[in-house]
Chain A
Amino acid sequence: MSKSKIERLFDQGEFVVSCEIGPPKSTDAEVIREYARMLKNHVDAANLTDCQTAIVRISSIASAWHCLEEGLEPIIQMTCRDRNRIAMQSDLLGAYSMGIRNILCLSGDHQKFGNHPTAKNVHDLDSMQLVNMVKRMKDEEEFCCGEKFKNHAPKDFFVGAVANPFADPFEWRVARLEKKIAAGARFIQTQCIFDTDRFVKFMDMVKERGLHKKCKIMAGVTPIKALGAAKYMKNNVAGITVPDELITRLEAANKAGGKDAVREEGIQICIEQIKMFKEIEGVAGVHIMAIAWEELVPRLVEESGLYPRPALKE
């Protein structure tokens, strides 16, 4: 079987576009398939979240399979919250056997946020160790315990991780990114960026250490849908900072034209950001997180000049 499509696109030097699909809280796979059909020409790959915010949903791997069937390249997310190293490796083998190549390793939101706050969590590995485990499975062809694969190692996994330039301590963020790259991360998706100044500072530090040459960094963007959402994220979501200027812009839009104007302003801000990130040296792609607003993604991609998507050369 072949290498990941986004890995090959990166190798080709393309500016890669990914987005996120939140699987449903039911058995209705048609939801995923519909999104897949809608998005497949506009993005190069889509993340399938792994019980995002600790809410039970169709599993990331099963969702990814539906995407594959519809012709959309999947990136499975895997959190450390719910499985130990045995279950993770087993799921990884299964995913690979279905043709899934991209894996994004995360620690996962604490179960306190989800619909089963009294659950027992696992955290056998942390995200860094998960990255390293997948890297060893693919490169050294060995399991976490050191036992070698006799055959059919998942050699073509493309290992990703996340970085949050807005978490603290700030200076340590770049050091931790360096550590993740050392552990084996080949691509990085960042937390959604609203504070562009801080992101630019982050990227400067990244470039100082030459990290952008060692791995592909995709800037995370989220279109803001409503003023309330922006304020909520500013005050309540750990690891996300929303600058005052942005709130001011949305407030002005609200005054001028109410809800619809705010939506439109949110879209414009997002397009501006994508265009800006495309020009920053070291940024190799964007990752659009429009959870519960997936239908907006094609428009964002088109209006920021990223459409049509490049083809694979061969």
Chain B
Amino acid sequence: MIIAEQKPMETIEEFIKDYKKVLFLGCAGCVTVCLAGGEKETDLLATSLRMKRELEGNPLETVTYTATRQCDPEYVDGIANYVEDVDCVVSLACGVGVQFVAEKYRNKIVFPALNTKFAGGTVEHGVWEERCGLCGDCILHKTGGICPIIRCSKSILNGPCGGSQDGVCEISKDVPCAWHLIVEHMKELGRLDMLMEVQPPKDWSTSRDGGPRKVVREDVKIDE
């Protein structure tokens, strides 16, 4: 899923300082799971800002709503009545959700309340880790199910580099060396031989480097 993190309260406060009535728009998708922009976080953010503004003598009227998914027009269309009578929108979705809302409601400014971080998963309650760099051409079968594109700090495809020591990456003692993990895992599988093949330069055109990407599934498209 997409992992996101709330921006500092002061930043969001600054965004909306000149607005009187604001819609705080949560998302029930990924950001609910990573505890950044679900219903609970949306209410908490709205309440805190409202109270703060009250104390400062600059009252704020808040409206809160949590869409099923902000990255889906179906659910974004359904919030028209909420958006209509506010001065601006604070979206607690990932960057995709923010864009879908901004695109639909062109006469309202939409502020991102989150920093969209990465594609990752929950490793323990409250800890999320990046696992995929969304390169568009997955090679996990060659690397023991460990992604060197994103988990190696230098995206090395023929690693590990000379900075790998005691299983940690040169950039920090808190970062496992992805290539150390790969070598260990391939050893377990008895397939170190697979790592001897020199991996050619990667085709990055399937990645962001090829411009914005699109997936089309003709078979499930609904023709009008």
Contacts and interface: CB of A to CB of B under 8 A. Distances in A.
B198 A121 contact: no
Nearest to A110: B171
Interface stretch (B11-19, B27-35, B150-158): B150-158
B133 to A, nearest CB: 11
A239 B163 contact: yes
B201 A175 contact: no
Contacts of A107: 154, 156, 161-162
Interface residues of A, number: 36
Interface in A176-218: 176, 178-179, 182-183, 191
Contacts of A238: 163-165, 168-170
B171 A85 contact: no
A167 B164 contact: yes
B156 A126 contact: yes
Contacts of B37: none
A175 B192 contact: yes
Indicate the member of B156, B158, B159, B202 with the most A CB atoms within 10 Å: B158
Nearest to B155: A123
Interface stretch (A127-135, A258-266, A272-280, A281-289): A127-135
B180 A169 contact: yes
Interface string B186-214: 00000010011011111010000000000
A182 B153 CA distance: 24
Contacts of A129: 157-158, 198-201
B167 A168 contact: yes
A162 B162 contact: yes
Given A126-B159, A144-B201, A239-B170, A166 B165 contact: yes
5 contacts: A109-B170, A110-B163, A124-B204, A133-B201, A182-B198
Given A123-B154, A126-B161, A175-B196, 12 more contacts: A107-B156, A107-B162, A123-B155, A124-B204, A126-B155, A126-B157, A127-B161, A128-B199, A179-B158, A183-B158, A238-B164, A238-B168
Q: Which 4 A-B pairs have the closest CB atoms?
A: A164-B162, A128-B158, A238-B170, A126-B156
